[in-house]
């Protein structure tokens, strides 16, 4: 294993899902729904397979039906116009989009300012691209993890090439506000930075939270690569269909890397996801309402069990603080939890460079059926 990757080991999601399987625990670790996406979209995939659409290499940028559907979705929801031919690229999940964007845009030694805690593949892909990550830590403030705008500005140096933003944010559930995003945008314009914004949870925002795509802010469309995922939006994480929208020059850069990673992926599923993106608004509101109900069940159970709960405004994850349980090391807590309670969770420390900052936080996924969440809450309630 080379020096760039040596520090990363095995992804925590693989480790924790294996632990869940081995111990028969309820898996609230890795974020995947325990209910598959809409039947009609599964049927669409079967139809594509049967009709021989996508069984051979699809076009490099993605099938035209899907690129058109992605552009229509950005237009309809956010008023963002993208040309399906030059400004949309289909990827093997958001994971490949992140990798290809970093590999295609970074020069060795470039600095990337990213919000810590960060989704694990960011750090690994920045390393693979020869970049240097510069974390800006989100810290608890009035019950939510917030971005310190002065710290963000201070993190930018002459070597900074890009900002890597994630909203709604995994693992904290924070949804960046218009004020925060405006500060990000002003900084990017002032320092002439590129921005990669991971918006895979764009449809999962709760209560008063609103998802604002960074590309809608002044000066941002031409410097922003926006990432979306069918895995997260339609509950088909195994299909590995993601996409980016960006200005033509940025798409070309990302595609230059992408063509040598997977070349193409998920042929028949691309056709099905094109249909999914055109589902009526009721699908999206229904999905959100379902996840909101699940959030409320799990957050209530966790609070009852004695955790400090940071009520997420978005995503399908909830971050907790385990210190009220007399614990302080999330790693040790999560390793012992299957044995102690038959539940698997993720130690947020894996998402930090500053491991100490993340030590007392533990993430639970709530994209599970309500009886499963109730059972998990009951088990966790017996911890104390």
Q: Which residues bind ligand PMP (CB under 6 A)?
A: 31, 93-95, 119, 166, 170, 198, 200, 229, 231-232, 237, 242
Distance in Å, CB of 315 to ligand PMP, minimum: 7
C-alpha distances (whole Å) from 62 to each of 7, 69, 89, 137 are: 34, 11, 6, 35
Pick the closer one to ligand PMP by CB: 61 or 242: 242
Q: Could you say which of 31, 228, 301, 360 contacts ligand GLN (CB under 6 A)?
A: 31
Q: Which does 166 bind (CB under 5 to 8 A by kind): ligand GLN, ligand PMP, none?
A: ligand PMP
Distance in Å, CB of 39 to ligand GLN, minimum: 24
Pick the closer one to ligand GLN by CB: 11 or 23: 11
Range list of H helices, the chain: 3-6, 12-23, 39-50, 64-78, 93-105, 120-128, 149-155, 178-190, 230-234, 248-258, 267-277, 281-304, 330-341, 355-358, 370-381
Report the b/e string of 156-168 with b at 16+ CB within 10 A: beeebbbbbbbbb
Give yes or no for residue 27 binding ligand GLN (CB under 6 A).
Answer: no
DSSP assignments along 60-117, one per residue: TT--HHHHHHHHHHHHHHH-----TTTSEEEESHHHHHHHHHHHHHPPTT-EEEEEES
The residue among 222, 164, 156, 157 whose CA lies nearest residue 195 is: 164
Distance CA 288, CA 206 (A): 7
Distance in Å, CB of 27 to ligand GLN, minimum: 10
Can you say whether the dihedral through the CA atoms of 159, 164, 165, 171 is positive or negative? negative
Distance in Å, CB of 363 to ligand GLN, minimum: 8
Give yes or no for residue 170 binding ligand GLN (CB under 6 A).
Answer: yes
Pick the closer one to ligand GLN by CB: 257 or 344: 344
Distance in Å, CB of 163 to ligand GLN, minimum: 20
Q: Which does 13 bind (CB under 5 to 8 A by kind): ligand GLN, ligand PMP, none?
A: ligand GLN
Q: Which does 319 bind (CB under 5 to 8 A by kind): ligand PMP, ligand GLN, none?
A: none
Please tell me what DSSP assigns to residue 169: P
Q: Which does 54 bind (CB under 5 to 8 A by kind): ligand GLN, ligand PMP, none?
A: none
The three-class DSSP label of residue 274 is helix
Q: Could you say which of 25, 30, 197, 270 contacts ligand GLN (CB under 6 A)?
A: 30
Give yes or no for residue 229 binding ligand GLN (CB under 6 A).
Answer: no
Distance in Å, CB of 198 to ligand PMP, minimum: 5
Q: Which does 30 bind (CB under 5 to 8 A by kind): ligand GLN, ligand PMP, none?
A: ligand GLN
Pick the closer one to ligand GLN by CB: 33 or 131: 33
Give yes or no for residue 62 binding ligand GLN (CB under 6 A).
Answer: no
Q: Is 285 exposed, middle or buried, given 0-12, 13-18 or 19+ CB atoms closer than 10 A?
A: exposed
C-beta atoms surrounding 374 within 10 Å: 15
Q: Which residues bind ligand GLN (CB under 6 A)?
A: 11, 13, 30-31, 170
């Amino acid at each position: 294993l080379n020096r760039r990757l040596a520090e990363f080991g095995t992804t925590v999601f693989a480790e924790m899902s294996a632990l869940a399987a081995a111990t028969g625990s309820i898996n609230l670790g890795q974020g995947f729904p325990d209910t598959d996406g809409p039947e009609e979209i599964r049927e669409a995939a079967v139809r594509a397979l049967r009709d021989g659409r996508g069984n051979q290499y699809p076009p490099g940028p993605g099938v035209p039906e899907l690129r058109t559907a992605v552009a229509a979705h950005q237009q309809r929801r956010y008023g963002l116009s993208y040309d399906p031919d030059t400004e949309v690229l289909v990827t093997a999940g958001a994971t490949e989009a992140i990798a290809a964007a970093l590999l295609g845009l970074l020069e060795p030694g470039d600095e990337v300012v990213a919000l810590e805690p960060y989704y694990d593949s960011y750090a690994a892909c920045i390393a693979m691209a020869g970049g240097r990550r510069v974390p800006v830590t989100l810290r608890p403030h009035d019950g939510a993890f917030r971005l310190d705008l002065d710290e963000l500005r201070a993190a930018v140096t002459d070597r900074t090439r890009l900002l890597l933003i994630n909203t709604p944010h995994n693992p904290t559930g924070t949804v960046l506000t218009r004020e925060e995003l405006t500060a990000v945008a002003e900084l990017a314009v002032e320092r002439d930075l590129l921005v990669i914004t991971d918006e895979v949870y764009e449809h999962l925002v709760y209560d008063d939270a609103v998802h604002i795509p960074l590309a809608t802010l002044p000066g941002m469309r031409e410097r922003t690569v926006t990432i979306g995922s069918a895995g997260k939006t339609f509950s088909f994480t195994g299909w590995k269909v993601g996409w980016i929208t960006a200005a033509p020059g940025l798409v070309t850069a990302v595609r230059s890397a992408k063509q040598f990673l997977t070349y193409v992926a998920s042929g028949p599923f691309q056709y099905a996801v094109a249909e999914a993106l055109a589902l009526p608004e009721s699908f999206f509101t229904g999905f959100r309402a379902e996840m909101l109900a699940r959030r409320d069940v799990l957050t209530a159970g966790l609070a009852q069990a004695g955790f400090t709960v940071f009520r997420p405004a978005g995503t399908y994850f909830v971050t907790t603080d385990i210190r009220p349980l007399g614990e302080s090391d999330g790693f040790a807590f999560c390793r012992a939890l299957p044995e102690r309670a038959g539940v698997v969770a993720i130690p947020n420390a894996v998402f930090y460079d500053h491991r100490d900052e993340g030590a007392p936080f533990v993430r639970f996924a709530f994209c599970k059926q309500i009886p499963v969440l109730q059972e998990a809450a009951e088990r966790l309630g017996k911890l104390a």
